[in-house]
Amino acid sequence: MEPFAIKLIGFAAATCTTVAYAPQFIKVWKTRSARDISLGMFLVMVLGLALWLIYGLLSGDAPLVAANAITMVLAGGILFMKLKYG
């Protein structure tokens, strides 16, 4: 498979997994309620995203870096609101 096609698949996957967090982020932002969100899940998720981001930076993998940087902002925002709003 062509390297460009492989990168394209990576960016498509990155887009899907990143955009998946947007509805939850928006809902928590609008309602100011994070009561039904699992604190443990988001703590582990943000840690995992940070590790993937570091891995992507060290390996020079642009789709991995882009996806995990943006997703970490969204998941980190949800985690922050969970801690703030409960």
Q: What angle do CA 82, 38, 79 make, to 5 degrees?
A: 35
CATH number, domain containing residue 72: 1.20.1280.290
Residues contacting 20, CB < 8 A, separation 6+: none
pTM, to two decimals: 0.84
Per-residue burial over 35-67, b if 16 or more Cβ lie within 10 Å, else e, is eebeeeebeebbeebeebbeebeeeebebbbbb
The parent domain of residue 66 ranges over 2-83
pLDDT tens-place values along the chain, 86 residues long? 899 999 899 889 889 999 999 999 999 999 999 999 999 999 999 999 999 999 999 999 888 898 999 999 999 999 999 999 98
Q: Give pLDDT, residue 43.
A: 96
Chain centre to alpha carbon of residue 25: 11
Return the pLDDT at 60. Answer: 93
Q: What pLDDT sits at residue 41?
A: 95
Query: From CA 80, how far away is CA 15, in angstroms rounded?
Result: 22
Do residues 49 and 37 touch, judged by C-beta distance below 8 A?
A: no
Q: How many domains does the chain have?
A: 1
Q: What pLDDT, on the 0 to 100 scale, is given for residue 44?
A: 96
